[in-house]
Amino acid sequence: MITIIFGPPGSGKGTQAKYVSELLSVPHVSTGEILRREIAAGTELGKAVAPIMSSGALVSDELMVKVLESRLSQPDAARGALLDGFPRTVAQAEALLAMLKARGWNIASVISLDVKDEELKKRILRRGAEEGRSDDNAEAFEKRMEEYRQGTAPVLDYFAKAGVWVTTINGVGPVETITQRIAGIVGATRDGMAS
Ligand code: AMP
């Protein structure tokens, strides 16, 4: 069973995914985090993606599908995963549905976090100052937003047409309040599946 946390950069996907993956007892799979670890470890993959990530552009679909496939093949993901940062394009969404179909898995739900652009920018610049991520600056933020609007947002329509359940929630407020909103949705999905 796959649950997806979806939203623009700075919408709180990573923060929420940590809590929600515990709630669902499945691993938190963040493709951005996987790439950052590759960069930190100095691997070939890391070297190839570092400049792309810093600029705020998207890494190729081909590469990202491979990264996700390999992560989902690990034993801790045998019962599913919570995806954060994937899929980011319609091509990735198509690849994901094909991958899940081959395994007999489903997407339980897609939670889309809604946060206004101004607030997103404020959060990203704050995180840049606190954590020093190479893509948390004003210039890369604009590029990431452009990628989101053009490449990623259409994934929601694609999912809706494919019959995947998408719920949009307000992503502004205290972290615990938003976690509670998400818990209500994933709980309902899980109970619905069980009955
Ligand atoms: P994130 O940590 O999810 O904000 O991702 C940070 C950066 O990693 C993105 O701006 C992209 O450069 C790259 N990235 C992460 N996930 C993907 C993906 N599914 N497809 C393409 N690029 C990705």
CB 57, CB 146: distance < 8 Å: no
Residues with CB under 6 A from ligand 1: 9, 30-32, 35, 52-53, 56-59, 64, 85-86, 88, 92, 135, 144
DSSP string spanning 12-65? SHHHHHHHHHHHHTS-EEEHHHHHHHHHHHT-HHHHHHHHHHHHTPPPPHHHHH
* pLDDT tens track, the chain, 195 positions: 899 999 999 999 999 999 999 999 999 999 999 999 999 999 999 999 999 999 999 999 999 999 999 999 999 999 999 999 999 999 999 999 999 999 999 999 999 999 999 999 999 999 999 999 999 999 999 999 999 999 999 999 999 999 999 999 999 999 999 999 999 998 866 665 554
pLDDT at 187: 81
The letter for the amino acid at 53 is M
87: CB partners within 8 A, 6+ apart = 4, 93, 95, 96, 155
pLDDT at 126: 97
CB 61, CB 89: distance < 8 Å: yes
Q: If you measure from the C-alpha of residue 85 to the centroid of ligand 1, how many angstroms do you get, rounded to a whole number?
A: 6
H-assigned helices in 25-162: 31-41, 44-55, 61-72, 90-103, 117-131, 138-147, 154-161
Could you tell me the pTM of the whole model?
A: 0.96
Counting atoms of ligand 1 from 1, which one is nearest the CA of 49? 12
**Residue 189 DSSP one-character state:** H
pLDDT at 195: 44
Q: If you measure from the C-alpha of residue 193 to the centroid of ligand 1, how many angstroms do you get, rounded to a whole number?
A: 31
Angular region, 164: left φ>0, alpha ψ -120 to 50, beta rest: beta
